[in-house]
Structure 1
Amino acid sequence: MYGAAFPLALSLSFAEDACVLGYPVYFHQGFENCETLKSQEGVHALITFSGRWIESAYDACATISRCHERFFLITSSDRTLPNVMEKIRLPRLCSNEYMNVLYLLFLDLVLLELLRLAG
């Protein structure tokens, strides 16, 4: 999971539960060397609620998205990145508290699917 500090902090409980099920979750705040990231198999997701991260560093975000076969984008922004398998479009809300709740519900749905796969 790539993103700013706040969405990644909300993902911590999800990561702990996923690891217990045998699905390790790694966090990257900021941008790393793409060659290092290529060696990490799995599903990669970039999380930017408002899309400011994409706007401020589009080239770096695009490089990360090109590095992976299975790449998801979670944002409320209209802008997208290359090589995105699925864009999960969050609604634009007047309060971040509502966005937090929606994001946590989304992570719970993912966790339920991981439970189903593990069972």
Structure 2
Amino acid sequence: MVSIQYVTSVAKLVSEDKKPLIAILRCLKGKTKMAFKDEEQAKAYWAENISLLFKLLAVWFIVSFGFGILLVDVLNEVRFFGFKLGFWFAQQGAIYTFVALIFVYVFKMNTLDKKYGVDE
């Protein structure tokens, strides 16, 4: 989770700035600081965060594009709850996978936040 200090500082910048979009972009560029002890800790945290994000996006891409589009003919040979598996992945499987990945991301980020001492 994002630290409460970071959210508070972002909200303060946005509310005080006459151009809130500029303030948000400033925050995204790293002009505001989270509660890290040093720069190395912040870099390690963000490296793990981005690594996790890319892994989860890869899973979602494989399920939605790979199973739902590229491998649909092969998967349609298998029945799942009465539906062709390729059709099911295209219609339901990608959505269920996305929701599951949200929960995985929340759990992993809470663990990562505790590891680096930026949890709430």
TM-score by length of 1: 0.29
Using CA pairs below 8 Å that are at least 6 residues apart, which structure has the higher relative contact order?
2
Q: Which has the higher strand share?
A: 1
- TM-score under structure 2 length normalisation: 0.29
Higher helix share: 2
Q: Which has the larger radius of gyration?
A: 2
